[in-house]
Amino acid sequence: MIEKNYTIPINEEFEKYDGCPLCRLHKKFEEQNLEYIMGAAMMEPDVRVETNKSGFCVRHYDKMLEMKNRLSLALMLETHLKEIQKMAESVTDGGKKQARQAAAQLSDIADDCFLCRRISSTLEKYCNNIVFLWNTEPEFREKFLRQPYFCFAHTSALLKSGLDNLSAKQFPSFSSDLLSITKNVLEKYLDEVSTFTKSFDYRFSNIELGEAKLGCEHAVDWLTGNIEPWSE
């Protein structure tokens, strides 16, 4: 079912036609959540309980370190480190079964991130709403088809959402629309990487690289969602 509070930001980003719209939604929501976690969230006990247990990934710790409110970060770190300390102590204070459980909890913390989970959940809802709009609003479908590209990660997310939310009859049309867009950027970066690879062959020593000089960077950016707008 569509959630109307997501349709406004979706339409705003789909009207810009200068990059992956879901990358922009991701970035905007990430910035909002960083501001939230370093501000108002400090006064919300439920959030503090979650951050004490899960912590954050390297990317989000780095972003929080770049922000001005070090006190908020210090307060979160203080209680998070105490939580880790408590678990670490239980590794040696109990028997092997308790140690195994505590070690598993510590491993989960090391791989967890409160913000990544929160952002991932919202992006899934964005994808579901995008699929709904594509299926029900011809005007939105036109906007969808005019997008210059979707990055690899968000192409995959939209395909999954399409499979989950469309009928067997509807999905082929959606996947065709989506992959026709992705095909263009995939071919562009594949051509750049192939040209760059050829430049190491003596038979192509005089080849003009052009944009292919950065073919590896462009391909990695597309694969990871860290991509700047490009035009043909």
pTM beyond cutoff 0.75: yes
The predicted structure's pLDDT at residue 98: 78
Residue 202: in which H helix or E strand, if any?
Answer: none
The predicted structure's pLDDT at residue 204: 67
Give dist(CA 184, CA 159) in Å, integer.
17
Is the separation of the CB atoms in 76 and 51 below 8 Å?
A: yes
Q: Which two tokens stand for residue 72?
A: 């908020």
Give dist(CA 7, CA 3) in Å, integer.
7
pLDDT tens, 153-194?
999 999 999 999 999 999 999 999 999 999 988 998 999 998
pLDDT tens, 44-68?
888 888 888 889 999 999 999 999 8
Q: How confident is the model at residue 209 (pLDDT cuts 50, 70, 90)?
A: confident
The predicted structure's pLDDT at residue 232: 36
Q: Any idea where the domains of the chain sit in the sequence? A: 4-147
C-alpha distance from residue 79 to each of 31, 37, 49, 93, 115 (Å) = 23, 14, 9, 21, 17
Residues of the chain above pLDDT 90, percent: 51
The predicted structure's pLDDT at residue 4: 64
pLDDT tens, 91-104?
776 677 778 888 88
Burial of 107 (0-12, 13-18, 19+ CB in 10 A): exposed
Higher pLDDT, 2 or 62: 62
The predicted structure's pLDDT at residue 229: 42
The predicted structure's pLDDT at residue 230: 39
